[in-house]
């Protein structure tokens, strides 16, 4: 079960602002791309997570109609998880994916990841 709200780190929030200004893609879509990228590349979530004091997203805004798909992907990677773990994993994967996207300068660069 996914949480109703997900908070990301301040570093990820700052990076999202820069990426939005470069690409004009909204933060929630950038987070979806970052999450999928991190899951695809097999990022291993560490227990010592960053402080999550950045933007807080409603689950419906963050993942839209595909929330069930993302939940299935998280369960495939991490096994059976509870709501608290799901929130931590989502945040960690989004942070990791956004870190990978930081070098993007335009929408054309973003398309190379999709």
Q: What per-residue confidence (pLDDT) applies to 45?
A: 84
Q: Indicate the helix (H) or strand (E) that contains 10.
A: helix 10-23
**66-111 per-position pLDDT tens digit:** 999 999 999 999 999 999 999 999 999 999 999 999 989 999 888 8
Say if residue 113's pLDDT is above 80. no
Domains of the chain, start order: 5-111 (1.10.1220.160)
Please tell me the predicted confidence (pLDDT) of residue 51: 67
User: Cα dihedral angle (21, 26, 28, 29), rounded to 10 degrees?
Assistant: -100
pLDDT at 77 (0 to 100):
92
DSSP string, 41-69: TT----SSPPP--S-EEEHHHHHGGGHHH
pLDDT band for 4, please (50, 70, 90 cuts): very high
pLDDT tens digit string along 20-69?
Answer: 999 999 999 999 999 999 999 988 887 655 667 889 999 999 999 999 99
Residue in the block written with tokens 């999928």: 36
pLDDT at 53: 87
pLDDT at 44: 85
The answer on pLDDT for 8 being more than 90 is: yes
Q: Which two tokens stand for residue 92?
A: 């960690």
């Amino acid at each position: 079960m996914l949480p109703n709200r997900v908070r990301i780190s301040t570093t990820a929030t700052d990076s999202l602002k820069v990426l939005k200004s470069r690409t004009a893609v909204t933060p929630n879509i950038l987070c979806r791309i970052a999450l999928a990228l991190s899951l695809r590349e097999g990022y291993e979530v560490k227990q010592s997570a960053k402080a999550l004091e950045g933007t807080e997203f409603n689950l419906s805004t963050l993942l839209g109609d595909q929330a069930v798909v993302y939940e299935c992907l998280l369960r495939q990677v991490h096994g059976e998880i509870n709501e608290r773990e799901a929130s931590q994993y989502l945040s960690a994967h989004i942070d990791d994916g956004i870190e990978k996207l930081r070098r993007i300068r335009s929408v054309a660069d973003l398309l190379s990841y999709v």
